Structure 1
Amino acid sequence: MSRRLPPLSALRAFEATARLGSVTRAADELGRTHGAVSRQIRALQDHAGGALFDKAGTGLRLNHQGEALRLVVAQALDQLEQGWLRVLDEARGASVHVACSATFAMRWLVPHLPGFYRGHPDVKVRLSMTSAREIRHQGADLVIAWDRLSYPGRDQARAIRLSDVAFGPVCAPRYKAAVRQRRLVCATRIVHEHTSRAWTVWQDNSGHVVKTEAELSFPHTHLCIEAALSGLGVALVERRMVADDLAAGRLIAPCGFVPFADGLAAVPASERAASPAARAFVAWITRELAASDAGRDARC
């Protein structure tokens, strides 16, 4: 029996328009003309026997029937995409897709990856950049993160602890920052826009109080570090991210570093998180983090 389905291209046009709220934006995303997307939506509405959108100013708004269809189509396309990616991964051989912050990737993970490939030459590691404001990166098998407060409870419970983390304020040696009776006094505090609670957690854990006159915020940790290196203020960062800068004297940590209880973890984000390749990666990064910490402590 043949399937009673509208064309897949019409469903894609509908889903993109529903998600973006605009035929123009949907056409841009799909690489089609505005007229082509409009025709596909009209054909889908004819097939459904009724309107799926209502006019909302200059845009479109789903009606009740359209919202019901959107839920079905979005779920089906997500499953189709994930299934297709699994087929591609299997065709390419053993692999693991890891999402993490750009700073962690650049300053720690990528420099250590040769060690993983030496031990697992047949496993490919695919990296995607994510941030604290994103619960998970689409298509990733594992998401590496320390700040998991915004994650669903189920994901927090499944998180695989990789290592301790320790945070501390850092600044350029020439920057005027003073520690007086457990008070860190400086002109400017540098804040990560999406993990601003880190300063509060640090104060609670360290017993220090921060007194500043101004605040600068940036959307990424590496920008916060660059701002501190440039003498713009004091940034709060994880110790591993600035280990080389501290060793070279480009940064100082006037209050040292204190641990954060949650630690660094790998959050499973797909069923492939249980694959042999993913398990090998988790085992390797756990050992590598411990070894690099031991090496740093020995040098200190």
Structure 2
Amino acid sequence: MTRPRLPPLATLRAFEAVARLGSVGRAAEELGRTHGAVSKQLQALRLDAGAPLFDKVGTGLQANAAGKRLAQAVGRAFDDLGQAYAEVVREARAPALRIACSASFAMGWLVPHLPRFSERHPDVRLELSMTSAKDMREERDADLVILWDRSAYPPEDQARAIRLADASFGPVAAPDYPVERRPRDGTLRVARRIVHDHAAGAWAQWSRLSGLALEAPAQISFPHTHLCLQAAVAGMGVAVAERRLAQAELAAGRLAAVADFTTFPDGFAAIPHRSRPLSAQARTFLDWLAAELGAA
């Protein structure tokens, strides 16, 4: 559909201001133009329309019937434009909520769930900072750091942590990976254990909480959970991983649980910025994240 032809926007701006204020001088002052420039715009619009739009009343101008109809329409259009533009500017200039988390958590769980957050809270802009568990401990700019293992963080950071949901860990391997089970002493024996470089304590914590031991004469390590999981998929050994991060591979049959998943008491948590108070946006995101993790 072809839009109707419109006169130059500058002539409509001048016309609407004069119609609203009843004076070329006052309109010129509002628009930051000279009296002569506004008069020329009115003349140009009159010639373009082919009809007068004002009647002279005393020393001022008053829109006639045609002018009033046009002024109302132009005024509404400028109001709508102004509001839409203000919203665009406000969203563009609003500070983003910076979230720091491991690359594995971001890619394996958070990012696939973020569309639901954006649908519910389109006014909250998020900026993800994805890194390794090791580098996350040096994060100083993020509004929120999302993690499950906060044992390596300073006591003051641990004290500020906001618990979000349970975290459940368990050993996983390729479906055909050989695992020897000893029910008598609760030991699992495998050829190789896969360890996270910066969260090696997950194995010890799982063993302590589950009451099971895992013996492995060989060990291989990786810096990210998703690499540990892919190594397990490739049959390189047994990895211990959080249930949500392994769920896609488990559901597809590329991994199988070697033993039950066990809940770690600390669970997922968010550590707020050390000096900035929690913003309303941060609280909104935390409420959503806690509910989403709890439902997963």
TM norm structure 2: 0.66
Distance (Å, rounded) in 1 between the aligned partners of 2:148 and 2:295: 19
Deviations 1:249-272 (A, max 9, x none): 110012110011110000012544
Please tell me the residue identity of whatever aligns with 1:159: A
Please tell me the residue identity of whatever aligns with 1:287: A
Q: Indicate conservation of the 8 Å contact 2:98/2:129, yes or no.
A: yes
Aligned to 1:164, the other structure's residue is in SS state strand
**Equivalent position to 2:163, from 140, 161, 164:** 161
The yes-or-no answer on 1:110 pairing with 2:114 is no
Please tell me the residue identity of whatever aligns with 1:124: R
Q: Indicate conservation of the 8 Å contact 1:273/1:279, yes or no.
A: no
Q: Indicate conservation of the 8 Å contact 1:142/1:273, yes or no.
A: no
**Equivalent position to 1:284, from 265, 268, 288:** 288
Please tell me the residue identity of whatever aligns with 1:101: S
**Equivalent position to 1:212, from 189, 213, 216:** 216
Q: How does 1:210-289 map to 2 (within 5 A)?
A: 210-272=214-276, 274-289=278-293
Which residue matches 2:72? none
Q: Where do 5+ consecutive residues of structure 2 fail to align? A: 1-89
The yes-or-no answer on 1:196 pairing with 2:196 is no
Please tell me the residue identity of whatever aligns with 1:178: E
Which residue matches 2:181? 179
The yes-or-no answer on 1:121 pairing with 2:122 is yes
Distance (Å, rounded) in 2 between the aligned partners of 1:115 and 1:272: 27
Q: Indicate conservation of the 8 Å contact 1:179/1:255, yes or no.
A: no
CA 1:283–1:136 in 2, change beyond 3 Å: closer, same or farther? farther
Give aligned-pair identity as a percent. Answer: 53
Q: Indicate conservation of the 8 Å contact 2:91/2:123, yes or no.
A: no
- Residue 91 (structure 1) shift: 6.3
Please tell me the residue identity of whatever aligns with 2:244: R
Please tell me the residue identity of whatever aligns with 1:244: A
Aligned to 1:126, the other structure's residue is in SS state strand
Deviates more, 1:127-136 or 1:231-240: 127-136
- Residue 186 (structure 1) shift: 0.4
Q: How does 1:2-151 map to 2 (within 5 A)?
A: 92-134=93-135, 135-151=137-153
> Which has the greater radius of gyration?
2
Distance (Å, rounded) in 2 between the aligned partners of 1:277 and 1:142: 11
Distance (Å, rounded) in 2 between the aligned partners of 1:174 and 1:272: 50
TM norm structure 1: 0.65
Q: Indicate conservation of the 8 Å contact 1:165/1:238, yes or no.
A: yes
Q: Where do 5+ consecutive residues of structure 1 fail to align? A: 1-88, 293-300
Moved over 6 A (4+): none
- Residue 116 (structure 1) shift: 0.6
CA 1:282–1:129 in 2, change beyond 3 Å: closer, same or farther? same
Q: CA RMSD in A?
A: 1.6
Distance (Å, rounded) in 2 between the aligned partners of 1:218 and 1:290: 28
Distance (Å, rounded) in 2 between the aligned partners of 1:122 and 1:91: 10
